[in-house]
Each structure stands twice: as structure tokens, then as C-alpha cells.
């Protein structure tokens, strides 16, 4: 045995083994880092590890038979005479020490517990806003972007367009849950397996396909996969002339409906090409891609692209309807021009519905505008019609939930938001919707959970998240945290820095309250977009907050969704008998609506002309 180890030392096999293990560990760490940074497939690091394991015995064999000399690689000569006794050299000891260090690091990583999650009231930088996944249903499907196999990149819009039209038809089917375009297109160009995609979208079936254009001929291949069994439920290849390519969408939709045993109705059936102008359609698809982000630039770019598409085809109903939805988004995120955007949305939606009266997104926008006008019956009617035509219409679902909070129908709002998450599970602002509902209900535990998730979303997300945490901390008596979150919210919103000190001081010292109230009112007059009720409630000026809400309710088409959240929170906190709160409900036209359509759980009639809430 002594002679064998001496021979291993002479042939440098032990040195090669130690060096190989150390170098292999370093290579594996680099592979894991690259996999994370470059979003490579999860099997990348496993593949590198397998290569290293396979290479280890090869390296030992080569080390036994060959040696590296100044003259190059030569075969190691056989031992001559008596082999010297085994005695570790300095290099061997260094390699052994490094090898031991590597083993200690690996062992430490394996046995040390992971860091626990931070408390909900701390700002967690690594928290990612993900809504709770919906339950997996047998009849649930996501339509992935069809792959463009054409030689020219400019043909990609054919693939996206066909995907969107198939998705639109399937979304109108009853009895099947269809993931929205925003979430499905999030996987465009990404090398992720269908099982993982199905898991993230909480669907059972995935429809994928490809489009190849050759001159005036287009070949479309589609296949439906049951991800629970990896079985191909259905597949087909179609060849069409370019002018007739969108007729394929109806055949695909009908085949899928048959495979899932779903009856396809007239309203969910053939829709035809949305436009005959292919350049207008390309611009329309580019505009739709902007909906994945709620930034000012994406909405502005989207509106510009819709306008260009409409200029090429003035009868493009879908472009008008989605442009109106973008305008309503701008009205929310650019309050300085709120009235202008609502008016533009109104004009666009009137044209869209004149061209296509039963377009679901158009009806959803019309419902949203009606809610701003406090026409609750029209808002309810248009939303119901939109969802009858397209049960998975994400825009109609989310705006319905927001309206139901204002009306006080919290259980219905929760159902609407649940359906919205099922339709659009990757939408980054899903947490915002559930947060607003929890705030209105006075559910601090749930509100806090979603507020922390919102902190990682710049702009509106961080503003609402910090503001909510401030209100919760204030109620708990944690004044230091309340002031800290309030200052973060004010700083995040921008344009309100003058309120930082007076509000902070008024939260600590009630004698400073009147001065802070005056400055908040001054900021409200200066900035039409500023909704001051949260800050006023934080400094203990509840009546002033209600006065601000009542004044804004009297302004036509003013945004009242945020104000109504705090109004209902006051009810949950036992202030339902406040005369100003009751005046707000009357000003919003809700009392007459309740008398006709049913009172919310927290309110009830009291005599002939009065009511009470608690």
C-alpha cells in the first residue's frame, strides 16, 4: 500500500485529484452565478456538474499515464528500482488545505439555516409582488405566443396577431378559464418548459404553435398540451394564403373547444380579421404590448401607436376600444390631465361601440366611465354585459372590483378580484387591488401583507404601500414607524416635499395640527391630482378628510375610488354614524342605488329617509 501511494505521488495523481476538485468547485459556482444572472435553464448547472463528474476519472487516468514536462506532454516512465517512500510535498499540502477549505464551505452551505423572512412592517427589498395562485381547473388554458419561423423579423406580428385572435375567441367561451394576453405574452421568447409555465399561470392546458410565412403562403402549426400528463390533446397544421390567414383562428378555437368538450356559441365563435390593413394591425399589436407596463412612457407610446393604426384604418374598432382603456389608465396615473383623458376615452369608446357594439373591452371602459359619473346602474349593466360576452376579460373584472368597493359590496369585490387574478396571474399590481379591499374592510393583517409586496414596485406601488403601512402603524400606536412610512410615501409621490415636516410634527404634537391642515389644503388647491384624505386622517383630522372627499365628490368625473376606500375604513373603525360620512354616501348617489339594488352588509335603512352604517 505504501508503494502504491508513493507511485501515486510520483505520477502526481493525488495533486491532480485535489486540483481537479478545487477547480471543479470554482467552475460550478461560476455556472450557478451565470444561470441566475442570465436566466438560463435550470438544468444548466446540473449539466456542468455532470461534465465535471464524468471528467474526474478521465483526469486521473491521464495523470497516471502522462506527465507535463518542459518539453511537452510525455508518457510517465515506469518506476525503476526501489520507489521512494510516500512523503507529501509542499504543493501537495497546499492543495490539500484548499480542498479541506472547499469541503468546509460546502458543508456550511448545506447545514446552515436560511435567513428568515423580515417582519411585515420592514421594507423587504427582495419581496416580489406575486398574487396568490388560483386553483388549477380541468378547463383552464393559456395561449402562448406563437413562434415566428419566418426568415424576416418583420413577420413576427403575424404570429402575435394570430395568437391574440385565438385568445380573444377562447376568452369568450363560457366554462373555461383563459389566461389574459398580458400574462401569456410574458413568456414570449423565454426558454421555459410548459409545465413551469402552467404552474405559474395555474392552468392545466397550454396552446402553443408556430407561424411560417413563405411569400403569400402562411403555414400555421398549433398543438394543445395537457401539462398534467404531457399528452398532446390535439394538434394540426394549416396552410393559407396571406389574405386568409386569420380564418385559421376560428378553426383552432373550435378544435380546442371540442377537445375540452365545450360548446362554442355564436358570441364566442367566428370573429374574422379585426382589420384588413396589415400595417394598421402591426401597429395595434405593438401598442397592445405596452400594456404589460403601467409606466407613463408605455401608456404614451401605446396611445401614439393606436392613433397611427386608426389613421390607417378609421374603422378599426379594437384599436379605438383599447386606446380608450389606455386613456383611462392615463387618467389614473396622470391626475393633472385627468378630465382631458376621461373625455378622450369617452370619445374613443363611443366610436368603438358604434363600429362594434358588443366588444367586451369597450363595454368595460364604458362601465368605468359611468362609475366616474356616479351612474352606478349604467356601470353595473355595462360590466355585466362585458363579462357575459367575455368571462375572462381582465379589464372588466378589475374595474368591476374597484367599483364594488366604492359601493360597499366587499364580498362581490373579492370575487371579482379573484377572477381577475385567474385571468391575469402575472399582473404586477394584483396586490394593489387586494390591498385596497383589505384597507376598506379594516383588515390590517391582510392589508399589511399586500402593502409589503407593493414596496418593490416603484412609483404608485411604493407610494400606496408606504402610505398603507403608515396608517396601520398609526392605529397600532407605533408613532415612529407611522412617521417613517408617511415620509417615505410623501417622498415617493413627489411634488409634496413641503408637507414632510408639518405633517410629521403634527403627528407627534396635536398642537401643530391646524398648521399642517392648512398646508395640506394649500397643496390640494395647488395640485388637482393630490387626494389628501390619508394624510389628514394620519394627523387626526378626520372631519377635514371627509370635507375634502365631499368637495371632490361634487366635481364631475373626479376620481373617488381612493376616497371611498378610506370612507369605508372609517365605517369599519366605528365612525359610521358621522354625519359627514353619511353626507358623502348621499353625494356619491349610493343611497338611492342601495335602495333599489340592495344595501351593503355594513349599512341598512333607518326609517323612510335615513340610514345607518356600522
Domain boundary among 249, 273, 297: 273
Q: What is the pLDDT of residue 130?
A: 41
| Contact (CB, 8 A) for 233 and 225 | yes
Q: What is the pTM of this model?
A: 0.70
Pairwise CA distance, residues 591 & 585, whole Å = 6
Q: For the chain, what is the total number of helices (H) and then of strands (E)?
A: 27, 10
Confirm if 448 and 480 have CB atoms less than 8 A apart: no
Do 90 and 147 belong to one domain?
no
Give the position of cell 351593503: 600
Residues in Cβ contact with 491 at an 8 Å cutoff, skipping those fewer than 6 apart: 497, 500
Q: Decide if 219 is inside a domain.
A: yes
pLDDT at 295: 67
At 231, phi and psi to the nearest 5?
A: -85, 140
Count the alpha carbons within 13 Å of 25 in the hemisphere toward its beta carbon.
Answer: 15
In a domain, 376, yes or no: no
pLDDT value of residue 557: 83
Say if residue 50 is in the same domain as residue 147: no
Phi (first) and psi of residue 89, to 5 degrees = -90, 170
Kindly state whether residue 329 falls inside one of the protein's structural domains: no
pLDDT in tens, 577-596: 999 999 999 999 999 999 99
Is there a single domain that holds both residue 39 and residue 98? yes
CA distances to 299, 461, 483, 587 from 566, in Å: 28, 17, 19, 16
Angle at 302 between CA 298 and CA 306, to 5 degrees: 175
Q: Is residue 246 part of a domain?
A: yes
Report the C-alpha gap between 120 and 132 in whole angstroms: 17
- Joined grid coordinates for residue 187: 413568456
pLDDT of res. 125: 35
**148 is a domain residue:** yes
- 186 plus 70 within the same structural domain: no
Task: Decide if 330 contacts 460 (C-beta within 8 A).
Answer: no
Residues 302, 176: Cα–Cα separation, whole Å:
30
Q: Give the domain-ending residue among 219, 250, 273.
A: 273
**Same-domain status, 146 and 264:** yes
The number of residues making up the chain comes to 614
The number of distinct structural domains making up the chain is 2
Q: Does some domain include residue 603?
A: no
Question: pLDDT tens digit string along 197-218?
Answer: 999 998 999 999 888 888 778 8
User: Which residues partner with 236 through β-bridges?
Assistant: 222
Question: Could you tell me which of 237, 246, 247, 256 has the C-alpha nearest to residue 170?
Answer: 256
Residues 100 and 158 in one domain: no
Domain match, 64 and 101 both: yes
**Domain at 231, CATH number:** 3.40.50.10070
Q: Are 16 and 59 in contact (CB under 8 A)?
A: yes
- Check whether residue 13 and residue 83 sit in a common domain: yes
User: How many C-beta atoms surround the C-beta of residue 56 within 10 A?
Assistant: 15
What is the spatial distance between Cα 417 and Cα 402, in angstroms, rounded to a whole number? 9
Are residue 207 and residue 256 in the same domain, yes or no?
A: yes
Helical residues (DSSP H) of 214-271, grouped into ranges: 248-259
Q: What is the predicted pLDDT for the residue at 84?
A: 56
Is there a contact between 258 and 237 (Cβ–Cβ < 8 Å)? no
Q: Residue 442 domain-assigned?
A: no
**Torsions phi, psi for 330 (to 5 deg):** -65, -35
Please spell the DSSP secondary structure of 282-308, one letter per residue: HHHHHHHHGGG--SHHHHHHHHHHHHH
- Let me know if residue 555 belongs to a domain: no
d(CA 210, CA 239): 12
Predicted confidence at residue 396, as pLDDT, reads: 92
Percentages helix, strand, coil for the chain, rounded to the nearest 5? 65, 10, 30
Q: Alpha carbon of 356 to those of 46, 130, 313, 316, 317: distances in Å? A: 53, 35, 14, 9, 6
Q: Give the residue from 270, 221, 211, 269 showing the smallest Cα distance to 242.
A: 211
40 secondary structure, DSSP code: -
Q: Which domain holds residue 37?
A: 2-111
- Classified as helix, coil or strand, 214 is strand
Regarding whether 163 and 99 lie in a shared domain, the answer is: no
Residue ending a domain, among 273, 302, 325, is 273
Same domain? For 99 and 18 the reply is yes
Looking at the fold, whether 31 and 90 belong to one and the same domain comes out as yes
Low-confidence ranges of the chain (pLDDT < 50): 36-42, 86, 107, 109-136, 266-270
- Pairwise CA distance, residues 106 & 84, whole Å: 35
CA distance 539 to 469: 15
Q: Are 352 and 164 in contact (CB under 8 A)?
A: no
Amino acid at each position: 500500500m505504501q508503494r502504491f501511494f508513493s507511485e501515486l505521488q510520483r505520477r502526481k495523481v493525488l495533486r491532480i485529484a485535489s486540483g481537479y476538485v478545487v477547480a471543479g468547485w470554482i467552475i460550478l459556482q461560476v455556472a450557478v452565478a451565470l444561470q441566475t444572472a442570465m436566466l438560463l435553464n435550470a438544468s444548466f448547472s446540473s449539466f456542468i456538474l455532470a461534465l465535471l463528474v464524468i471528467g474526474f476519472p478521465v483526469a486521473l487516468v491521464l495523470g497516471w499515464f502522462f506527465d507535463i514536462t518542459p518539453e511537452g506532454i510525455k508518457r510517465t516512465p515506469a518506476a525503476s528500482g526501489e520507489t521512494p517512500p510516500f512523503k507529501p510535498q509542499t504543493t501537495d499540502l497546499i492543495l490539500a488545505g484548499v480542498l479541506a477549505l472547499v469541503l468546509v464551505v460546502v458543508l456550511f452551505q448545506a447545514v446552515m439555516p436560511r435567513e428568515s423572512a423580515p417582519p411585515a412592517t420592514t421594507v423587504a427589498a427582495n419581496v416580489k409582488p406575486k398574487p396568490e395562485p388560483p386553483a388549477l381547473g380541468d378547463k383552464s388554458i393559456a395561449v402562448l405566443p406563437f413562434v415566428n419561423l419566418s426568415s424576416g423579423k418583420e413577420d413576427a406580428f403575424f404570429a402575435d396577431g394570430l395568437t391574440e385572435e385565438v385568445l380573444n375567441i377562447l376568452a369568450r367561451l363560457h366554462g373555461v378559464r383563459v389566461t389574459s394576453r398580458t400574462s401569456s405574452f410574458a413568456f414570449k421568447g423565454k426558454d421555459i418548459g410548459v409545465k413551469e409555465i402552467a404552474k405559474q399561470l395555474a392552468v392545466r392546458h397550454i396552446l402553443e404553435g408556430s407561424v411560417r410565412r413563405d411569400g403569400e403562403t402562411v403555414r400555421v402549426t398549433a398543438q394543445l398540451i395537457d401539462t398534467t400528463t404531457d399528452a398532446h390533446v390535439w394538434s394540426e397544421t394549416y396552410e393559407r394564403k396571406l389574405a386568409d390567414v386569420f380564418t385559421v383562428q376560428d378553426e383552432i378555437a373550435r378544435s380546442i373547444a371540442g377537445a375540452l368538450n365545450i360548446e362554442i356559441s355564436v358570441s364566442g365563435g367566428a370573429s374574422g380579421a379585426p382589420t384588413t390593413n396589415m400595417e394598421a394591425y402591426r401597429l395595434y399589436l405593438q401598442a397592445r404590448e405596452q400594456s404589460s407596463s403601467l409606466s407613463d412612457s408605455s401608456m404614451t407610446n401605446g396611445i401614439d401607436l393606436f392613433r397611427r393604426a386608426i389613421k390607417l384604418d378609421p374603422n378599426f374598432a379594437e384599436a379605438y376600444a383599447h386606446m380608450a382603456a389606455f386613456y383611462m389608465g392615463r387618467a389614473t396615473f396622470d391626475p393633472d390631465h385627468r378630465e382631458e383623458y376621461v373625455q378622450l376615452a369617452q370619445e374613443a369608446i363611443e366610436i368603438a361601440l358604434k363600429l362594434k357594439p358588443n366588444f367586451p373591452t369597450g363595454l368595460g371602459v364604458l362601465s368605468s366611465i359611468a362609475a366616474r359619473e356616479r351612474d352606478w346602474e349604467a356601470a353595473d349593466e355595462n360590466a355585466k354585459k362585458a363579462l357575459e360576452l367575455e368571462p375572462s376579460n381582465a379589464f372588466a373584472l378589475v374595474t368591476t372590483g374597484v367599483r364594488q368597493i366604492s359601493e360597499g359590496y366587499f364580498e362581490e369585490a373579492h370575487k371579482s378580484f379573484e377572477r381577475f387574478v385567474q385571468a391575469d396571474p402575472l399582473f404586477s399590481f394584483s396586490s394593489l387591488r387586494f390591498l385596497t379591499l383589505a384597507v376598506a374592510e379594516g383588515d390590517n393583517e391582510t392589508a399589511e401583507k399586500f402593502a409589503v409586496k407593493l414596496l418593490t414596485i416603484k412609483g404608485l406601488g411604493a407610494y400606496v404601500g408606504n402610505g398603507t403601512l403608515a396608517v396601520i402603524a398609526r392605529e397600532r400606536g407605533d408613532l415612529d414607524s407611522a412617521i417613517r412610512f408617511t415620509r417615505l410615501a410623501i417622498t415617493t409621490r413627489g411634488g409634496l416635499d413641503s408637507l414632510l415636516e408639518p405633517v410629521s410634527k403634527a403627528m407627534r404634537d396635536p398642537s401643530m395640527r391646524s398648521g399642517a391642515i392648512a398646508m395640506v389644503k394649500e397643496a390640494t388647491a395647488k395640485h388637482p391630482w393630490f387626494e389628501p384624505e390619508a394624510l389628514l386622517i394620519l394627523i387626526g383630522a378626520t372631519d377635514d378628510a371627509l370635507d375634502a372627499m365631499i368637495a371632490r365628490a361634487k366635481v364631475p368625473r373626479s376620481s373617488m375610488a381612493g376616497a371611498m376606500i378610506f370612507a369605508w375604513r372609517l365605517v369599519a373603525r366605528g365612525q359610521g354614524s358621522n354625519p359627514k360620512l353619511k353626507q358623502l354616501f348621499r353625494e356619491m348617489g349610493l343611497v338611492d342605488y342601495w335602495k333599489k339594488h340592495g344595501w351593503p352588509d355594513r349599512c341598512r335603512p333607518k326609517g323612510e329617509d335615513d340610514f345607518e352604517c356600522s
